[in-house]
Amino acid sequence: MPSSCTASAPGCPPHIMNSPATVKVMTARCMRCARSVEITTTDDIHAYDMVVVSANLYYCTRCARAVGYN
């Protein structure tokens, strides 16, 4: 199978050409004050005033400043 399948590319399976992009909705919750926002996997987490600490661990910007996390 070619590495880049488009609608006009020969040899691409039909299910790849017609499949929509998968977007997941998740909740980012501050681990200090429990403030939460719902985001999608395509959103920029910083636009919601959240800071990524680690995989699936977040601070809101207010709590990140309070604990000295940059």
Domain layout of the chain by residue ranges: 22-67
pLDDT class of 10 with cuts at 50, 70, 90: low
Extended beta strands in 2-68, E state? 25-29, 36-40, 50-54, 57-60
Flag whether pLDDT at 30 surpasses 90: yes
Take residue 59 and report the two structure tokens written for it.
């601070």
| pTM for the whole structure | 0.64
Close Cβ partners of 26 (under 8 Å, ≥ 6 residues apart): 38, 39, 40, 41
| Residues 40, 43: Cα–Cα separation, whole Å | 5
Take residue 2 and report the two structure tokens written for it.
């070619």
